[in-house]
Amino acid sequence: MTVIIYKLRDLSLVWTGRAHSATVRAMSLESKLDTWVAAGLIDTDTAARIRAHEEAGDRPYVLWAIIGLGLFALALGLALIVAANWDVIADWLKLGAHLALTAAAAAAVWFGAARGNRWLKEGALFLLAALVLAGIALHSQVYQLTGPMWQALVPWLLLMTPAMLIAGSTRLVAYGWSGMLLWTLAALALENEHAHGLWYFVHGLAIAGPLILIGLSLLPWRSRLSFADGLREVGVLLWLGGVSLAHFVWAGTVTPTEAGDMAVRLVVPVVVAAGAVWAGRRWRMIPRAMLLPIIAAPMAALLLATVVPHADGWPARLAGALIYMAMWGLIARAAIASGWRALFGVAVAAVGIRIFIIYFELFGSLATTGAGLIIGGVLLIALALGWRRVFALVGRARA
């Protein structure tokens, strides 16, 4: 009960913070309007129209906070009552209630789409996806079904993918579906990691998960750009992050046998990457200059790290570091040319972090001594200040 009270308190603080932020924004707007009028940039009539427009868009955050807390308490109370009496509830009642809730969520999706109520449709679609997943778990419990995790996730993916791809239009649904897709592929690969033959292509499909998201985001989602952006954000984040971590393979030994196995696994990612580049060139949903740096360059870096046999040693580690920095350098160059300042900042930071890691790789145990840590701290501060300086200079140049 104490945990519940603290959760309610935290939620109230969040909503109160939002209400306070709205008040601060209103005060800031008034100050700016007065300054602009005094400077002769706008007249009083224009200021009045701007003020009326902004006030018309104000949202009753305090009211929403109270209603939200009430609904949260109601839902939590019902959940506690059901949990306390779960064992005495008949199986037919559990399944019937779940079926009714699922049907209601599906009807809400249809109703929201028919009325053009975007948030009703998206919220109901997200709820429907959660209910379908809960239904699979419920049936497994009622009928005492056991098996690997992927056997429960694959049916969910088959059932919900058409609905979420066709009806989804916000980042909420995009993030949810992306997470479930990646979870399913990862579970499928990890629970069969020692399998051979055709399972290698399943492993490759798991590696290609982020590329699948990037490729889907490059299709012509003209009326649902937020959904496409959500798919692309998850895909790019995990693809670049995963390849960045994979470059540490250069610090170990890759035998010819291991390289051959990885070559088979990476057939699927290469094909998916080629399809994503084609889709990007065909529909131009993002700047063409970004396609090769965020798709092909990481793919090439991954192939070099895992498919080329090498022994552990300074030549391999140096090659890995150079390939890593070349990859992020290409990304930084394309990002600044395309106006993707956030990705440019990430690229510069990634190179700086790798330089810091090289310091420890070069000096080894000496870097952990007092003098070594001092030098490392100075280097890290210098890299951080340099990153900030570069980012600021680029911002001024773009302005």
86-106 pLDDT, tens per residue?
888 999 999 999 999 999 999
Phi, psi (rounded to 5 degrees) for 329: -65, -45
Alpha-carbon distance 163 to 166, whole Å?
5
What is the amino acid identity at position 145? L
305-326 mean pLDDT:
92
Q: What is the pLDDT of residue 120?
A: 87
What is the amino acid identity at position 44? T
Instruction: Please name the residue that has the structure tokens 């916000």.
Output: 170
Question: Does 184 or 45 have the greater pLDDT score?
Answer: 184
User: Picking from 69-78, 209-218, 361-370, which range would have the lowest pLDDT averaged per residue?
Assistant: 361-370
| pLDDT above 70 coverage of the chain, percent | 85
Confidence of residue 373 (pLDDT cuts 50, 70, 90): low
DSSP 26: H
Q: What is the pLDDT of residue 86?
A: 86
What is the SS3 string spanning 99-125?
A: HHHHHHHHHHHHHHHHHCCHHHHHHHH
pLDDT in tens, 112-126: 999 988 888 988 898
DSSP string over 280-341: HHHH-SS-GGGHIIIIIHHHHHHHHHHHS-B-SSHHHHHHHHHHHHHHHHHHHHHHHHHT-H
Q: What is the pLDDT of residue 29?
A: 72
Mean pLDDT of the chain: 85
Question: Does 313 or 292 have the greater pLDDT score?
Answer: 292
28-48 mean pLDDT:
80
At residue 3, does pLDDT exceed 60?
no
145-172 mean pLDDT:
93
Phi, psi (rounded to 5 degrees) for 344: -60, -45
User: Picking from 17-26, 120-129, 192-201, 376-385, which range would have the lowest pLDDT averaged per residue?
Assistant: 17-26
Instruction: Please name the residue that has the structure tokens 């600044």.
Output: 336
Alpha-carbon distance 231 to 214, whole Å?
7
Q: What is the pLDDT of residue 366?
A: 60
Q: What is the pLDDT of residue 283?
A: 93
Question: Does 355 or 103 have the greater pLDDT score?
Answer: 103
Q: What is the pLDDT of residue 368?
A: 62
Q: What is the pLDDT of residue 9?
A: 42
At residue 323, does pLDDT exceed 70?
yes
pLDDT in tens, 309-318: 999 888 899 8
Alpha-carbon distance 19 to 63, whole Å?
10
Alpha-carbon distance 3 to 14, whole Å?
17
pTM of the model as a whole: 0.80
Q: What is the pLDDT of residue 123?
A: 87
pLDDT in tens, 128-146: 998 999 999 999 989 988 8
User: Picking from 52-66, 214-228, 243-257, which range would have the lowest pLDDT averaged per residue?
Assistant: 52-66
At residue 339, does pLDDT exceed 50?
yes
At residue 19, does pLDDT exceed 70?
no
Alpha-carbon distance 298 to 208, whole Å?
12
At residue 110, does pLDDT exceed 80?
yes
Confidence of residue 276 (pLDDT cuts 50, 70, 90): very high
Q: What is the pLDDT of residue 56?
A: 63
At residue 11, does pLDDT exceed 50?
no
**CB within 8 Å of 186: residues ≥ 6 apart:** 206, 209
